[in-house]
């Protein structure tokens, strides 16, 4: 082999090597597993389910006949007490059903996803559900306290000033313990302390 030919072969080999180096290597696309697709679909389903649950909860509680006050009717008579007892018990029952559904949902959906993002999403969803249930647990406690005040015949009167809270306010918030004036003053004090 002549020296020119040998150097030409070396140069062509170097060019071939440099072309290989210059061409970027294709990275393997991350594998999309069925878990990822399922979890995305599950998130959409869970959001839809959550909305349906909230609507049912609101329908169960919010779908009541407002009490019709007759002229000259005594405040917190037996009919009114029965109306609010029924309202409070229906609300408590709806919240308890939601708690049961959440427990069942968390047991059914508990899976050890191999993808860290899916695991994080699931943990985040569970955390949000548990926070909501914790708020509902506190609300159930307030409902039980309201039922006790119904039994002791103190329901419907402001804890602070003793004035009647009012039928419409109690229908809007059956666990209300303060009249609207005392509650407004309480909120003003809270704002002044906090900010």
Is 70 exceeded by the pLDDT of residue 30? no
Higher-pLDDT residue of 68 and 6 is 68
CA 49 to CA 56: how far, in whole Å?
10
Q: Report pLDDT digits (tens) over 109-145.
A: 777 788 889 888 888 988 998 999 999 999 999 999 9
More confidently predicted of 47 and 129:
129
Q: Are 158 and 170 in contact (CB under 8 A)?
A: no
Nearest to 124 by CA among 109, 139, 137: 109
pTM above 0.75, yes or no: no
Tokens linked to 36 = 């990822």
The strand pairing partners of 164, in sequence order, are 157
């Amino acid at each position: 082999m002549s020296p020119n030919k040998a150097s030409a072969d070396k140069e062509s080999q170097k060019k071939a090597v440099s072309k290989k180096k210059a061409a970027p290597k294709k990275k393997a696309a991350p594998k999309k597993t069925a878990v990822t697709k399922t979890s995305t679909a599950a998130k959409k389903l869970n959001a839809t389910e959550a909305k349906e649950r909230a609507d049912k909860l609101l329908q169960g509680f919010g779908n009541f006949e407002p009490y019709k006050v007759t002229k000259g009717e005594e405040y917190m008579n037996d009919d009114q007490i029965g109306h609010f007892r029924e309202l409070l018990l229906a609300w408590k029952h709806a919240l308890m059903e939601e708690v049961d559904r959440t427990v069942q949902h968390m047991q059914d959906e508990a899976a050890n996803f191999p993808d860290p993002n899916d695991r994080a999403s699931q943990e985040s969803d569970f955390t949000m559900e548990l926070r909501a249930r914790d708020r509902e647990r506190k609300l159930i406690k307030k409902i039980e306290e309201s039922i006790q005040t119904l039994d002791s015949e103190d329901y419907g009167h402001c804890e602070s000033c003793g004035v009647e809270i009012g039928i419409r306010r109690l229908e809007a918030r059956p666990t209300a313990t303060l009249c609207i004036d005392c509650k407004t003053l309480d909120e003003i004090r809270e704002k002044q302390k906090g900010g």
